[in-house]
């Protein structure tokens, strides 16, 4: 609990300094939602918070992607909150898997929950 709390407060401090006080508001489950611009930015924030709290070798990351939320027309729209997202940038399941592999290479990720749409997950295994 202590480590989790310290990393959480470290993350809050980093988000506040980079995005302003409003970005430290939390959702229903206690998570922050700063206006990040890049898929890797959230992982960079987490790694920075872990390091700032002094737990680089002790804390690992688990992701709950909920990919079904941004799966449409047989592709994954990582810009799904934008009503005018560029369809040419949507990813196939294979390209999304490659992106996860990049994340794993660059960050201490130990688990990815719901990495693909719930109805196509079996096709990828």
CA-wise closest residue to 49 among 102, 110, 107: 107
Confidence bin at 124 (pLDDT 50/70/90): low
Whole-prediction pTM value?
0.86
pLDDT of residue 96: 96
Tens digit of each residue's pLDDT (9 = 90 or more) over 68-79:
999 999 999 999
Give the pairing type, strands 75-76 and 71-72.
antiparallel
8-state DSSP, 55: -
Tens digit of each residue's pLDDT (9 = 90 or more) over 1-55:
999 999 999 999 999 999 999 999 988 888 898 989 888 999 999 999 999 999 9
């Amino acid at each position: 609990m202590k480590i989790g709390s310290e990393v959480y407060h470290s993350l809050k401090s980093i988000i506040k300094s980079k995005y302003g006080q409003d970005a430290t508001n939390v959702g229903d489950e206690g998570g922050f939602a700063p206006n990040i611009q890049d898929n890797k930015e959230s992982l960079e924030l987490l790694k920075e918070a872990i390091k700032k709290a002094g737990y680089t070798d002790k804390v690992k990351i688990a992701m709950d992607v909920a990919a079904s939320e941004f799966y449409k027309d047989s592709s994954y729209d990582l810009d799904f909150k934008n009503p005018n997202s560029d369809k040419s940038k949507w990813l196939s399941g294979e390209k999304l898997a490659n992106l996860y592999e990049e994340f794993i290479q660059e960050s201490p990720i130990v688990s990815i929950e719901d990495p693909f749409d719930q109805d196509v997950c079996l096709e990828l295994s």
